[in-house]
A and B are shown apart, each in its own frame.
Chain A
């Protein structure tokens, strides 16, 4: 089955810096790669996603890049703010609708 590795497990940045979280996947047939943000005590919520026919997608301060050859995708957050502090999960899935999640990255943005 699919295996998703996520790094780093913890990321600490100063407000205004950029943050990058990287995930690698094992199944070359995976074609959908969402990123979820989970604030403390809350439910995971989708913040951005990308499909395998696209190399990059941006939404304001958030971007995701996909390298199908290397089987990795990354979340980029620019101009980080304290409210960006949360746990971020990547996932990969294909036609089975059963996503495989990474173990999460705890992002801490220091004011």
Chain B
């Protein structure tokens, strides 16, 4: 298993540009998440998905959009990039039997995004 993979690893965007961060997992996990991590800070949840076709907002969704058309893929779209979106973005996934909470999250390697 490759686990959770993310592309690209690095990207520099100009203000106002758009891009899509890709995330794929091959563990057949239902739950997928997007976090951002600012320097010296913790993880802030942007969006999450509990299964194909279902997404919901996290703590900091403004300026982002997601889709979940398959179990494997959970892309994050940045529209009209702003300097405040400079961060490291982590995708994660977990499996959790229905009705039970609390299982390990598997993180991707991250995408380092700079908006200038």
Please give the residue numbers on chain A whose beta carbons come within 8 Å of chain B beta carbons, in ascending order.
Answer: 31-32, 34, 36, 42-46, 49, 51, 89, 93-99, 101-104
B111 to chain A, nearest CB (A): 11
Check if A99 sits within 8 Å of B105, measured CB to CB: yes
B107 within 8 A of A: yes
Check if A104 sits within 8 Å of B41, measured CB to CB: yes
Residues of A within 8 A of B31 (CB): 97
CA distance A42 to B105 in the complex (A): 15
Contacts A43-B90, A101-B43, A104-B41 given; indicate if A93 touches B110 (C-beta within 8 A).
Answer: no
Check if B58 sits within 8 Å of A51, measured CB to CB: no
Please give the residue numbers on chain B whose beta carbons come within 8 Å of chain A beta carbons, in ascending order.
Answer: 31, 33, 41-43, 45, 48, 50, 58, 90, 94, 96, 99-105, 107-110
Contacts A97-B94, A97-B96, A98-B45 given; indicate if A43 touches B109 (C-beta within 8 A).
Answer: yes
B65 to chain A, nearest CB (A): 19
A53 to chain B, nearest CB (A): 11
CA distance A97 to B31 in the complex (A): 8
Contacts A34-B104, A104-B41 given; indicate if A95 touches B58 (C-beta within 8 A).
Answer: no
Residues of B within 8 A of A103 (CB): 41-42
Residues of A within 8 A of B108 (CB): 43
Check if B101 sits within 8 Å of A94, measured CB to CB: yes
CA distance A97 to B58 in the complex (A): 12
Check if B105 sits within 8 Å of A31, measured CB to CB: no
A103 to chain B, nearest CB (A): 4
Check if A44 sits within 8 Å of B101, measured CB to CB: no
A17 to chain B, nearest CB (A): 24
Check if B102 sits within 8 Å of A93, measured CB to CB: yes
In the complex, 22 of the A-B residue pairs with CB atoms within 8 angstroms, ordered by the A residue number, are: A34-B105, A36-B105, A42-B109, A43-B90, A43-B109, A44-B105, A44-B107, A45-B107, A46-B105, A49-B102, A51-B102, A89-B43, A94-B101, A95-B100, A96-B101, A97-B94, A97-B103, A98-B33, A98-B45, A102-B42, A103-B41, A103-B42
